[in-house]
Structure 1
Amino acid sequence: MNPGSPASAVVRTSLLEDFSLEMTGKDVPKLEEARDTIPPGTRINVTFLGNEDLRMRLDAARAVKRLGFVPVPHISARRLGSQVDLEEFLAGLRADGTAENVFVVGGDPASPEGPYEDALAVIRTGLPQRYGVRHIGISGYPEGHPAIDDRVLWSALTDKHAALAAQRLAGDLITQFGFDVDPVLAWVEETRRQGVDVPIRIGVPGPAGVRRLMTYATRFGVGTSASIAKKYGFSLANLMGTAGPDRFLRALAQGYDATRHGELKVHFYTFGGLRATSEWVARFRKEG
C-alpha cells in the first residue's frame, strides 16, 4: 500500500489508532517485556481460561493496570461454577481497581459448569455493574460458530445489546478472528441493520506461525486451509513460516465505509506474542 493512499491513512488514523490486545493470565512476563512497545492506555483483554485460577486472573489484570494499560478481564459464563464464583471474581476486580471494563463471553465448555448458560445470563444478573463495571464487551462471529446456529448467534447478539442498553452500560463488540475481509464487512453491515450501534473491534491474528494460525482456524471453523492461504497470503507449503495480517488490514481499510460500517477498531489475538504484535503494529503504521 502506498503510504500516502487513502486506505493507508485509514489504517493509521482510524483502524489502528486505538487497537487492543489479548493476553492470558500466564502472559504477565511477556507483557512486562513488551511494555515499552505498547502505547500507554492500550486496552488489553485478559482471558478466562480453564487452566488458570482466580488469583492468576486477578494478578494479570492488576499487572495490566500497573504497567499503564487498561485491563479488560474476561468473564467466561459457562466456566463459572456458581454465583459465588462470579461475585468473588468481581469483588477481586473491584478491590484491585480493575473492574471498570470487562468482556463477557459464553466460553468453551459445551455444558455450563454452573448457573450461567451464556453471556446474556451473566449480564442480566445486574451483578457486574453492582461491582463497578461500567463497560461490557461482547463477542461477534462474522463467519459463524462451528457449534451454534447463525439464527441463535444473531438473536444472542441483539439480546445482549438490548440488555446493555437497558442497564445503561457502555459496550463494544469484539469479533472472532478471520482471514477474509468480505464476510467480515458484510457481517458488520448486517450488525448495523440489526440496530447494534456500538463500536466494533475486528479480531485479527497477530503475526504468528502458519501452523499455529491454521490450528486456530480449524478449531473455530474459519474457512478452509486453501481459502485462508489464498486470502491471507501465505503458503501451505511453508508451515514453518510466519504470517502477519498485512493483507487483511489493507483490504479492511480499502473496504471500510464509516457511513455503512460505523466505528471500527482492531483487536489483536496475540497467541502470547505481545511484543511481536505491538512491534509489528508500530512498523505497519509507519510504513502503511
Structure 2
Amino acid sequence: MSACRSKDRSSPTITVTEAVTVQSALTAPLSAAEPATVRERIAGLAREASYEVAARDARGIDAAIARLSPGTLVSVTWLPLDDDEARVLASRRLREAGFEPVPHIAARMVTSDDHLQRLLRRLCDEAGVRQLLVISGDVKQASGPFEDSAALIASAAFAQPALSRIWLGGYPEGHPKVDHATLNATLDAKIAAVRALGMTPGVITQFCFDADPILRWLLDFRARHDVPVRIGLAGPAGIRTLLRFAAICGVGASARSLVTRSASIARLLVDTTPDPIIRDLAETAAYHDLQPMGFHLFPFGGLDRTARWMGSVAAGGFELRASASGFQVTE
C-alpha cells in the first residue's frame, strides 16, 4: 500500500469559536426522523466509495472486478518494487472492466522529466487514465528532480489533454514535523496549481480511526475550498494489522483510541470495521456543510473482504446500534 504520503499532510489551525462549532456538530441531538436519514446517508456513501489496489495484486484486481460496481474509482498504488509496466497493465485492466483507474504518481520515485512524460502518456493512451493521485512518496532520497508533489504538478509533463482530475493527499491527523499553517498553505497552493492546469482538484485523505479529527479537518478545509474530498478509511482487518499500518504511516492519536475500543482479548481476535466513523460523519449536524464528501477504502484486510462488507452496507444490510456507536452489518 502507498497509504503513507509524507510531507503532503494537511491539518487545521482552528480558533476557539471554530472549536466550539465543531464540538456542537459532534454532539448535536438528533430528531425523531434522523435514523432513517442516517441509514440513507450511510448506504449512499457506501455505494459511492472508492478503493485502492496494488499494481501487482492480481487477486485484488480480480476482487474489484467481481465485487465493485462499474464506474467505481479504484486507485492503483505506487510501490517501490513495482515497475511502470505493472502500473499501466493494472490501470488498463481496470479500465477495460469498466472502472475508473486512478494511478498514484510518487514524486520522489520519478527518475526524470522524460520518465514522467513517458509514463503519463502510456497511462493516458494505453489505459484510458483520466485521473491521477499525486503523492510525494515514502523514500528519504528523491530518485530524480521532484522533491514533492507540488514540484511534480508544476512539470510540463502534466499537460496531457486526457487528464481531467488530480487528487491530492489530505491528512486529518497532521504531521509531527510540519506545522499546521504551513501544511494548509501547501495544500491550498497545490489546489490552485491544479486549477491553473485546467483540471479539477480533489483530496483523498490518509486513513484515520476517529471521526473527531476528520470532522475538525473537514470543517476547516470547507472554510477554504469546495473541492471533493474522499475520507480515507481502513477496511475490515484485524487490529494487529491496522496498528502495524498505523505505525508505518504515522497515524497516532486515533490509533490509540482504536486500542482503547479494542482493549479486550476477544476484540483483538476479530476484525475491526470503520462503521463508528461512517455513522458519526453521516449523522453529524454539520453533514451538509461537509459536502462533497465520500469515502476511500484502504483494504488492509484484502480488497475482497472490504468490498463484501461495503457492498452489504450499500445494499442497506445493516442495523444502527442502539448505543449510538456504529452499526452492525446483517447480511
| TM > 0.5 fold call | yes
Q: What displacement does 1:217 show?
A: 1.3
Over aligned residues, Cα RMSD in angstroms? Answer: 2.0
Q: What displacement does 1:133 show?
A: 1.4
Match of 2:232 in 1: 203
Structure 1 distance, partners of 2:225, 2:288, is 14
Match of 1:242 in 2: 271
Q: What displacement does 1:197 show?
A: 1.5
One-letter amino acid of the counterpart of residue 183, structure 2: L
CA distance 1:17–1:3, shift in 2 (3 Å)? farther
One-letter amino acid of the counterpart of residue 31, structure 1: I
Match of 2:283 in 1: 254
Q: Is structure 2 residue 219 aligned with structure 1 residue 219?
A: no
Q: What displacement does 1:236 show?
A: 5.8
Q: What displacement does 1:196 show?
A: 2.0
Structure 1 distance, partners of 2:71, 2:256, is 38
Match of 1:8 in 2: 39
Q: What displacement does 1:245 show?
A: 0.9
Q: What displacement does 1:280 show?
A: 0.2
One-letter amino acid of the counterpart of residue 78, structure 1: R
Structure 2 distance, partners of 1:63, 1:235, is 42
Structure 1 distance, partners of 2:90, 2:264, is 35
Structure 1 distance, partners of 2:241, 2:230, is 22
CA distance 1:79–1:275, shift in 2 (3 Å)? same
Counterpart selection for 2:304 from 258, 275, 278: 275
One-letter amino acid of the counterpart of residue 10, structure 1: R
Structure 1 distance, partners of 2:34, 2:85, is 45
- For structure 2, the 5+ residue unaligned runs are 1-32, 319-331
Structure 2 distance, partners of 1:256, 1:153, is 27
Q: Is structure 2 residue 172 aligned with structure 1 residue 129?
A: no
Structure 2 distance, partners of 1:181, 1:84, is 42
Q: What displacement does 1:84 show?
A: 1.6
Runs of 4+ in 1 over 4 A off after TM superposition: none
Is the 2:235–2:299 Cα contact (8 Å) retained in structure 1?
yes
| SS of match in other structure, 2:61 | helix
Q: What displacement does 1:34 show?
A: 4.2
**Alignment coverage as a number of residue pairs:** 283
CA distance 1:245–1:258, shift in 2 (3 Å)? closer
CA distance 1:196–1:51, shift in 2 (3 Å)? same
| SS of match in other structure, 1:174 | strand
Structure 2 distance, partners of 1:147, 1:28, is 36
- For structure 1, the 5+ residue unaligned runs are none
CA distance 1:104–1:258, shift in 2 (3 Å)? same
Q: TM-score, normalised by structure 1?
A: 0.91
Q: Deviations over 1:124-175 (max 9, x none)?
A: 1232232621111000000012444323321211011111122221121000
| SS of match in other structure, 2:159 | helix
Q: What displacement does 1:88 show?
A: 1.7
Q: What displacement does 1:274 show?
A: 1.3
Match of 1:264 in 2: 293
Match of 1:39 in 2: 69
Structure 2 distance, partners of 1:272, 1:85, is 33
Identity within the alignment, %: 33
Match of 1:17 in 2: 47
Match of 1:110 in 2: 140
Structure 1 distance, partners of 2:137, 2:152, is 12
One-letter amino acid of the counterpart of residue 278, structure 2: L
Q: What displacement does 1:12 show?
A: 1.4
